[in-house]
Structures are given as C-alpha cells and as structure tokens.
Amino acid sequence: MKKILLFVLCAAASFTSASPLRAEMAVDDIVRKANHAAYYEGKDGKADAKMVITDSQGRTRERLVTILKLNVTDGGEQKYYVYFQKPSDVKNMVYMVWKYVGKDDDRWLYLPALDLVRRIAASDTRSSFAGTNFVYEDISGRDPDDDSHELVGSEGDFYELKNSPKNPGTVEFAYYTVSIDKKNFIPIKADYYDKNNKLYRTVEALEVKDIDGHPTITRMKASDFNSNGFTVTEFLGVKYDIGLGDDIFTERYLRKAPAQWIEQ
C-alpha cells in the first residue's frame, strides 16, 4: 500500500515538473548559443578594432587596436593578443589575456619603452577597457554561470532574457536584459539596470555581417547614461581561422609583435 502511494506521488511529481524543467533547459541553451555566437566563433580570428569615444560635450578620442584571438576550448578558455596602434602614446603596447572560466584570467601588459612585461592583477572585469565605455567583460565575455537567466519573452524575431548576478556585490548592475536574434543567436542589445531600477547603460550591436559563414558583429556601441558618453567600436578586416598558433600568445611576441599578423 505504501509502495503504491509512493509510486503515484512520484509519477504525479514527474508530470508537474516536466514543463518548467524543459523551459529552464531552453534558457540555458539560448545563453550558451549566444555566448558562442558572440565570443567563440571559429577556431581563431583577427580584427582591427577602431574605437571612438565621445564624451558628454561631444569631444572625441580614438583608439585603434589589432586583436588576435584563439579559442582554446569552445565556451571555455581563450587567448587574446591586443596590439595598440593608436593613440601614439600607447603605440606598440600590447595587452595579453589568457581567459579562463571559473577562475581569474591571466593578464599582461607590455611597455615597449622599458621593454617591460608586467603581470596585471585581474580582479576587476567590470572596469573600462582602454578608457572606452566598454568593460573587459564586453570584450572577452561574461561567464554565463555568473548570472541566473530567465526567459521573459520569445515572440517575434528575438529571445528576451533577464539576467541577475549570483554575486550582486561583484558587479555594478542589479540586472540586465538581453535581446538575442533567433536567426543567429547574436545578442543584439543589452540594457543594464541599477539598484534603483534605472536604465544606466546599453550595449548594442549596430551592424551584423556574415563573414566566412560566421555571423559577426562589425559595429557595436556602448552608451553610459550617467556620464552621457558613448563609444562606437568598428571591427575592420575581420578574418577567421587564420591558423594562429598557441605560441603567439607568449612573452616572445609581446616583445616583438608577430610580423605575419601585426602591421606596425
């Protein structure tokens, strides 16, 4: 008698939990695919990134870097080599990152005037990248496991997600919403809300092109509504699967940029 009751209860439980279980998997699936589309396309890649920063008074600054990227594991470890071309006071400096999931990245900065390879402490991934309105996580990706994800809409061409940080103390936002294109899983727009539920920041893809079969964001914009400044980044000369070796991402090429890939 007890065994039958237990069986019936278990069966009932499995029927009622089936639907939310399926929906939860779908959200994680979407997040995983979007993370891949935004950051892990191809085996490796190269691009010139032209970043124009405009402040609240309309004054502009420009940064030009050449980025080499290697995807060591899909959705996991990556290596970045960022060679500064402009402005001239940072020219020939190189910033290198070995990105990990679940632990701090390894970061280095090469200062050519001193021939100095400096190891950088990686604790803050929400600080500005090169003085732009983009933060490190916008460039190299935020670990999907750092947030809990909720699918709040899926009519039309986009999945709408709401993401809340699992460790609110480590980030400056209370939550952010993302619109993900159903066709190619590219995150088109991310809106960041602070503790007062105010929209203070938006990162959006202005242009997406198909390059070598990979959907690629070629123009993106980060707007800061607190400071009224914004940065537009254009990715030029994007190439995938150019055969970058693991050895490019070592001290050797910090001190002497790889002539094959970097035009100095």
Partner 1 sequence: MSTRVFASEMPKLHGFVEADIGIKVNDDKLAAKNGYNMAEQRAQFKLRYFPDQLEILKKWNTEIFFKTDVLIDEYTEQPKWWAPRELYVAFTPLSFADIKIGEQILTWGTGDYIFINDQFPKDYTSFIIGRDDDYLKLPSYAARLTLFSKLASLDLVAIPFFTPNDVPDGSRISFFDPLFNRVVGTQSDRYLREPPTQFDNTEVAARLYGTVKSYEWALYYNHGFYKNPAGYKNQQTGELYYPELDVYGASVQGPVPGVGGIANVEVGLLDSKEDDYAKNRLVQDSTMQYLAGYKRGFKNDFEVGVQYFLIQMLHYTAYKNSLLPGDTQDDKVYQQYTLRLTKFFANQTVNASLFVFYSPVDKDAYLRPSISWKATDSWSLVVGGNIFLGNQNNADWGQFKGDSNVYSRLRYSY
Q: Look up residue 38 and give its DSSP letter.
A: H
Cβ pair 133, 230 in contact under 8 A: yes
Binding residue (CB under 8 A) for partner 1 from 28, 29, 104, 157: 104
Binding residue (CB under 8 A) for partner 1 from 13, 120, 152, 199: 120
Nearer to partner 1, 17 or 226 (CB): 226
Stretch that binds partner 1, among 37-45, 122-130, 145-153, 154-162 (CB under 8 A): 122-130
Residue 235's Cβ-count burial label (10 Å; 0-12, 13-18, 19+) is buried
Give yes or no for residue 198 binding partner 1 (CB under 8 A): no
Give yes or no for residue 228 binding partner 1 (CB under 8 A): no
| Helix (H) / strand (E) containing 205 | strand 199-211
66 beta partners: 48, 83
Give yes or no for residue 196 binding partner 1 (CB under 8 A): no
Stretch that binds partner 1, among 131-139, 177-185, 188-196, 197-205 (CB under 8 A): 131-139
Binding residue (CB under 8 A) for partner 1 from 24, 28, 29, 124: 124
Question: What length does the chain have?
Answer: 264
Q: Minimum Å distance from CB 226 to partner 1?
A: 12
Stretch that binds partner 1, among 21-29, 128-136, 173-181, 234-242 (CB under 8 A): 128-136
Binding residue (CB under 8 A) for partner 1 from 31, 34, 38, 53: 53
User: Could you tell me the CA-to-CA distances from 153 to 31, 199, 211 in Å, in that order?
Assistant: 14, 19, 29
Distance CA 188, CA 207 (A): 9
Distance CA 69, CA 95 (A): 12
Indicate if the alpha-carbon torsion angle 110, 116, 122, 127 is positive or negative. negative
Binding residue (CB under 8 A) for partner 1 from 1, 5, 59, 197: 59
Q: Minimum Å distance from CB 64 to partner 1?
A: 11
Distance CA 27, CA 60 (A): 39
**202: number of Cβ within 10 Å:** 17
Residue 84's Cβ-count burial label (10 Å; 0-12, 13-18, 19+) is buried
**Binding-site size, partner 1 (CB under 8 A):** 44
For tokens 């030009």, what's the residue?
64
Cβ pair 149, 31 in contact under 8 A: yes
Binding residue (CB under 8 A) for partner 1 from 128, 164, 177, 218: 128
Specify the 3-state DSSP secondary structure of 15: helix
Nearer to partner 1, 67 or 122 (CB): 122
Stretch that binds partner 1, among 12-20, 31-39, 99-107, 212-220 (CB under 8 A): 99-107
Give yes or no for residue 4 binding partner 1 (CB under 8 A): no
Q: Minimum Å distance from CB 131 to partner 1?
A: 4
Q: Interface residues with partner 1 (CB under 8 A)?
A: 53, 55, 59, 61-62, 86-89, 91-92, 98, 103-104, 106, 113-116, 119-124, 126-128, 130-133, 170, 172, 227, 229, 247, 250-252, 255-256, 259, 264
